[in-house]
Amino acid sequence: MISNLLRTGIILGLLALAGCQKREGVAAAADKSVQPPKPVTVETVKETERSRHFAAVNRELELGGTLYAYADVDGDALAVATGLQDTMKQIAAAQPMLAPYAKDYGPVFTALGLDDIKAMGLSSVAEGDGYFRNRVFFYTPGQRHGLLAGLGGASAPFARLDLAPANTDFYAESEIDLPAVYATIRNVVAKVGGENSANQFERSLKNAGQSAAISVLSLIQGWKGHMALVERFEPEKTWKLPLPGGATVPAFSLLISIDGLAPAVKDALAKSPVLAMRQVGSVQIYDLKQPLPLESLKPIFVIDGSTLLIATSETFFNECRHPKKGLAQEPEFQQALARVGKEGNGLGYISPRFFARLHQIDALNPQLPAEMKRSLLMVLNKLPAADRPLVTVRTNLPDGILFRSYWNRSLKQDVAVVAFYNPVTVGLMAAMAIPAFQKVRTASQEKTVLNNLRQLAAAADQFYLENGVNTATYEQLVGPGKYIRVIRSVAGEDYKSLVFEQGQSLEVHLSSGKVIKYP
């Protein structure tokens, strides 16, 4: 009996042991099946077919997110220049007065630095909470020149961040080399319109602003270094704008700091009849002699060494100069900046309060007319509703320019976000380029007018010779079957009123008031 029980116990024990071993084997097999996934490998085309710039651009991007794009643009700028020249040649064949524009634009594109960019790429990665890590990289393996030289030098810690108090709502800082931008614009003017046009352009900048004791050229030459903008909305305070309907907006404080600009504006500030100067420590402060209609808006201009500062009030100026606690020490700001890099050449920061305050404009203006109300809502509805800071950094790398942003939208939705960090830079370049090219256009028009007068004078000489006379009319010289088939006005000049008389000069008046004379 006992032996039978013993035998049965042994059998049950062996079965149990076998079961445990089987379960352990199953568990071991299961463990082997749940291995970490193998790294994803992405095959590229063979090396002989691969863009030679791809590896350099890819190194700065993140592959596998919601967006990845790469484009090799090496040589494209000069190809566009050649295409533009060919197009202008075809147009000039039908419109001879446009012949001066049918030139080689390659040197112009090179002077602008457009051929510095050999490739570009962008990527966007969703972090799973509605926010994205965005990157844009412009690959410039050589030394940057032209407009790109205006973006500053090597990357460094942000130089003016200490001006921003802890409760700053908007902060922007950028390194800019405006003299380099100006040199590029002048070079382009010389290539398009000749050295005389470039000299005339420079003289006009020197003379501009003389009535206010400011030389625009001096402003440009001094604007090299860092520019910073600090803005804060004042809680519960509003401004009633002196406009029809009495629109109300949130009150704000603002500080602008511009390195290198003080010497160019110091005399103008001192001579201004609307400003009064006082010395406060090491700085010179200029106040408005007459108050502005907006309460708490008492702007001041400050000369601090070579730096010009402009503030909406002396109180805010002092708060920025000696903040009890700065934005750089705020954990929320530090967390946002850590995602995009702690140094660079440009920084843009927007707090959630910035958008929240702007969204209040609708409630502050219940009396607005229906049409104005609709327009206002259309603008406000396009503003994001952020629950954390948005930040963008621009960094000059040895081989390119990298933009990194932590944003509540993907680059797939809005590639233009890369320009957010500092719209001031773009505006300054445009403000310089537009009058420069306008000057080039004017110079080219004057050349065309002079060439038209030269053709008319030659046609008149031929008419005198063939007809034995010493006078002629426009109708006798220009038209189908005449000496000149057509003469077109390019600057508002009227050739039909010309008096053609042998030995006398021809002159016309342009719409600008300038007189062109030949010979």
**Alpha-carbon dihedral angle through residues 508, 513, 514, 518, given to the nearest 10 degrees:** 10
Q: Which two tokens stand for residue 15?
A: 């079965």
Q: Which two tokens stand for residue 366?
A: 């219940």
Q: Which two tokens stand for residue 488?
A: 């077109």
- Amino acid identity at 515: V
Given a cut of 70, is residue 7 above it in pLDDT?
no
Residues ≥6 apart with Cβ < 8 Å to 111: 146, 184, 187, 188, 191
Q: What are phi and psi of 440, to 5 degrees?
A: -65, -45
Q: What angle do CA 352, 354, 359 make, to 5 degrees?
A: 100
Contact 364/325 with Cβ under 8 angstroms? Answer: no
Identify the bridge partners of residue 205 per DSSP, sorted by sequence position: none
CA atoms of 430 and 424, how far apart (whole Å): 10
User: What's the DSSP call for residue 478?
Assistant: B
So what's the pLDDT on residue 403? 93
Question: Exposed, middle or buried: residue 448 (CB in 10 Å: 0-12, 13-18, 19+)?
Answer: buried
Contact 336/225 with Cβ under 8 angstroms? Answer: no
Indicate left, alpha or beta for 145 from its phi (over 0: left) and psi (-120 to 50: alpha).
beta
Query: Mean pLDDT over all residues of the chain?
Result: 82
Cis before 398 (ω within 30): no
Classify 130 as helix, strand or coil: coil
Residue among 294, 293, 321, 304 nearest 260 (CA): 304
Q: What is the mean pLDDT of residues 76-99?
A: 78
Residue 441 Cα distances to 192, 491, 514, angstroms: 9, 10, 15
Q: What is the pTM of this model?
A: 0.70
Identify the bridge partners of residue 72 per DSSP, sorted by sequence position: 119
How many Å is the Cα radius of gyration of the chain?
34
So what's the pLDDT on residue 285? 96
CA atoms of 268 and 305, how far apart (whole Å): 16
Residue 71: in which H helix or E strand, if any? strand 67-72
End-to-end alpha-carbon separation of the chain, Å? 141
- The pairing of beta strand 400-407 with beta strand 390-397: antiparallel
Given a cut of 90, is residue 143 above it in pLDDT?
no
Residues ≥6 apart with Cβ < 8 Å to 345: 151, 152, 153, 155, 156, 174, 175, 394, 395, 396
Given a cut of 90, is residue 241 above it in pLDDT?
no
In this structure, of 38-47, 221-230, 384-393, 408-417, the range with the lowest mean pLDDT score is 408-417
So what's the pLDDT on residue 209? 66
Residue among 417, 378, 225, 243 nearest 304 (CA): 225
Contact 220/280 with Cβ under 8 angstroms? Answer: no
The more confidently predicted of residues 17 and 266 is: 266
Confidence of residue 26 (pLDDT cuts 50, 70, 90): very low
Q: What is the mean pLDDT of residues 173-186?
A: 90
So what's the pLDDT on residue 413? 58
Classify 65 as helix, strand or coil: coil
In this structure, of 255-269, 310-324, 490-504, the range with the lowest mean pLDDT score is 490-504
Residue among 239, 138, 221, 142 nearest 185 (CA): 221
CA atoms of 21 and 506, how far apart (whole Å): 113
> How many other C-beta atoms can be found within 10 angstroms of the C-beta atom of residue 185?
26
- The pairing of beta strand 224-240 with beta strand 390-397: unpaired
Residue 178: in which H helix or E strand, if any? helix 178-193
Q: Which two tokens stand for residue 43?
A: 């095959």
Q: What is the pLDDT of residues 407-418, one digit of tens each?
A: 887 776 554 333
The more confidently predicted of residues 89 and 124 is: 124
So what's the pLDDT on residue 438? 56
Contact 311/304 with Cβ under 8 angstroms? Answer: no
Q: What is the mean pLDDT of residues 349-364?
A: 90
> How many other C-beta atoms can be found within 10 angstroms of the C-beta atom of residue 388?
15
In this structure, of 25-34, 165-174, 349-358, 367-376, the range with the lowest mean pLDDT score is 25-34
Q: Which two tokens stand for residue 264?
A: 């160019």
Residue among 352, 358, 420 nearest 387 (CA): 352
